[in-house]
A and B are shown apart, each in its own frame.
Chain A
């Protein structure tokens, strides 16, 4: 498999995942806001901080209300993490590898991208937002399903899953980081229903509420949620699960020594950690460490597989 193609597949998967994550995040937040007591003002800025594009946002928007934040995150082409920009980037990556991915998957990516761009006004309106984002999520899931069901599960598919799961792991840490830091109190004894709703929203941002209930069978509490989201082996959006997926992909690829070493280090680091005991400050530091590791893994994969050169002549 061509290095460039592997790289395109990898990025295509990352962008599709990014679009889906952003769509989920906004939908869940919009829902949460409706349940908050009138005395609490929700900081929409939070969402921008999660994506890491705060500077870009500040440069282009004066108001920090739901309208401008949703516009920035869904429909602003200047924002590399916005839903439509992510889908467009996914499509561009897919376009250069049309000879690799199954035709129907390409058609679906193309269709979803055009549909999201064409109906953008709907996505920006308060009434249309929910539906718009819901079928965006459905669309990305369709692509994922089609690829799983029709693409050869070869090296290309390994790069696809690697990209998707690295992006997913990254998003999970971002959501935990920002949501817990800015919204929530640390005391597990504080049983205000309000706090409960917020932790539920963290889970729901990752579609983890139902799975959390099944797995943990306890009330929604900070220590359990953190343990679940960082360390669960079976929940697809848990950090540990995502990096285990990456590990299994890397095992199938040639010349995998370097990347494998890094990923197993990261696995050990997560399974040895005690996220439930971390204070807010420690949690933030822990997340930083994980993100640095993910970046390092990305760099190692890129160096190993995406930039192959002739051996230096002696």
Chain B
């Protein structure tokens, strides 16, 4: 017998599959029973099958090395899925939709009347210090009033099992292709489980994404020309760009494939000649979009693209400037935004957040650096953070300096003890910390992925789940145990 659930230590934390004492949660019962029946050899065989599938399918991600070269690595994957009961998921889904709606209204407001500032709900100073507010976007009306068509919000659970939103990624959130590929791998490895249980499918994402993008086409065509704009093969998320383009049947283009004509329309260079482009799902940052409007040194962008967008000749998703809400300081205000725009209470709570811009809160942060996690407002990928309890005194002193120098750019949060899930380590299972990134599509309707990408910290005790820093992933199963 390979997996002995009775010996699995939940450590007094919330575990996604196990209640403790070897008793599985209701939605995970079928899985735990199934795994228990597998012999050591069978488990290793499944693991090997998953690794083979990943290699053969060419699921990779790119890590930047110190030397500036990048390495393509196979995607680290754990074969034990994370399971969430559908009843619980339904309320998380409602919370995410509510959040995406409020965030879009907030962005639209900032580029128009700025009512939320005039009504003293959101401080002007914070907007003034925002690195992702784009003056070029003031007064622009993107189709349907939507700015962030694709949003990836990170969810975590604390040790009591309560779900919090940790951050909202509204610039170019990535990971959805791994969610889709993880499912493909699992179907190859555990086909019998998919027959046995009611595991909700995730595969409709690409077609929903296409519909969401096609709906904002400036030309009312049955099949508008939708393209995915990638920085290119050396980007860490290139795999995903190619994958989504392929799944949507859209062209995957690079900046050099596009050109803006004298008519301020965007064209792609094709074998047939120049073809007009209607919608660009861009996976490059604002600053690199258009060397005429932003960074003039950008080799990735398309000169004149902003001009074409402002004239409404092409749609961009996410819209330029949407990143203003992708800021950990702005994040702290989301519950207030929900109340302000929707007149509702936030369904999903934020993690308690201290704003270093505020004098009183800053003093608290500086006094408790050994207990808090400090994050820069605009970084992603887990870079540039201080994990107070694990840092050296010297590191904390350095951070204190950084905070004093640029308080607007830092927030602090208590160190959450993230929930765990059983993860295969050698020949047995151990608890490993994880989070969840669902994706929210906003268009005529709002849609949330069924589950999302579960990222797991493969290092014992670690809570850093980023793939660039030793994280891996698991398939996420939303299980309807009542219906089954």
Tell me if A310 is interfacial: C-beta within 8 Å of chain B. yes
B88-116 contact mask (Cβ, 8 Å, vs A): 1 or 0? 00000000000000000000000000000
Q: Which residues of B contact A (CB under 8 A)?
A: 55-58, 232-233, 242-243, 245-246, 250-254, 256-257, 259, 261-262, 267-274
Neighbour of A4 across the interface among B250, B254, B272, CB < 8 A = B254
Q: Would you call A114 an interface residue if the criterion is a C-beta within 8 Å of the partner chain's C-beta atoms?
A: yes
- With A99-B252, A310-B259, A310-B261: A3-B55 Cβ-Cβ less than 8 Å: no
Residues of chain B contacted by A313 (CB below 8 angstroms): 262
Q: In whole Å, how far is A251's beta carbon from the nearest beta carbon of chain B?
A: 14
Residues of B within 8 A of A78 (CB): none
> Is the Cβ of B246 less than 8 Å from the Cβ of A99?
yes
Chain B interface: which of A52-60, A104-112, A173-181, A280-288? A104-112
Partner of A2, one of B232, B233, B269: B269
Give Cα distance in the complex from A107 to B246, angstroms.
14
Contact A3 B269 (CB under 8 A): yes
Would you call B269 and A308 a contact (CB within 8 A)? yes
**Chain B nearest Cβ from A254, distance in angstroms:** 5
Chain B residues with Cβ below 8 Å from A189 are: none
- List 6 additional contacts besides A2-B253, A2-B269, A99-B250; criterion CB under 8 Å: A3-B271, A4-B269, A96-B233, A96-B252, A111-B56, A313-B262
CB neighbours (8 Å) of B273 from chain A are 254-255, 308
Q: Determine if A95 and B233 form an interchain contact, defined as CB atoms under 8 angstroms apart.
A: yes
B residues within 8 A CB of A103? Answer: 57, 246
Known interface pairs A4-B257, A114-B55. Does A310 touch B242 (Cβ–Cβ under 8 Å)?
no
Q: Are A305 and B271 in contact, CB atoms less than 8 angstroms apart?
A: yes
**Pairwise interchain contact B271-A253, C-beta atoms closer than 8 A:** yes
Q: How far is the CB of A40 from chain B (nearest CB, A)?
A: 46
B56→A155 contact, CB < 8 A: no
Contact A2 B259 (CB under 8 A): no
Residues of chain A within 8 A (CB-CB) of B254 are 4
A98 in contact with B242 given A4-B256, A107-B57, A310-B261 (CB within 8 Å):
yes
Q: With A and B bound together, what is the CA distance between A253 and B253 in angstroms?
A: 21
Within 8 A of B (CB), among A190-218: none
Question: Do residues B242 and A308 form an inter-chain contact, with CB atoms below 8 A?
Answer: no
Given A2-B251, A4-B257, A310-B261, decide whether A99 and B242 contact each other with a Cβ distance below 8 A: yes
A308 touching B274 in the complex, CB below 8 Å, given contacts A2-B253, A4-B256, A98-B243:
yes
Assess whether A110 is in contact with B269, with CB atoms less than 8 Å apart: no
Q: Which 3 A-B pairs have the closest CB atoms?
A: A99-B246, A308-B269, A99-B245
11 contacts between A and B (CB under 8 A): A1-B272, A3-B269, A3-B270, A3-B271, A5-B251, A5-B252, A95-B242, A98-B58, A99-B242, A99-B250, A255-B273
Point out which of B242, B250, B256 has the most chain A C-beta atoms below 10 A from its C-beta.
B242
Of A3, A99, A155, the most chain B CB neighbours within 10 A belong to A99
Whether the pair A110, B233 counts as a contact (CB closer than 8 A) is no
User: Are A254 and B55 in contact, with the CB atoms below 8 A?
Assistant: no
**A220 CB within 8 Å of chain B:** no
Q: Which of B56, B232, B250 meets A110, CB within 8 Å?
A: B56
Bound complex: CA A4 to CA B254 (Å): 9
Q: Is the CB of A155 within 8 A of B257?
A: no
Complex interface residues of chain A between 81 and 123 (CB less than 8 A to chain B)? 92, 95-100, 103, 106-107, 110-111, 114
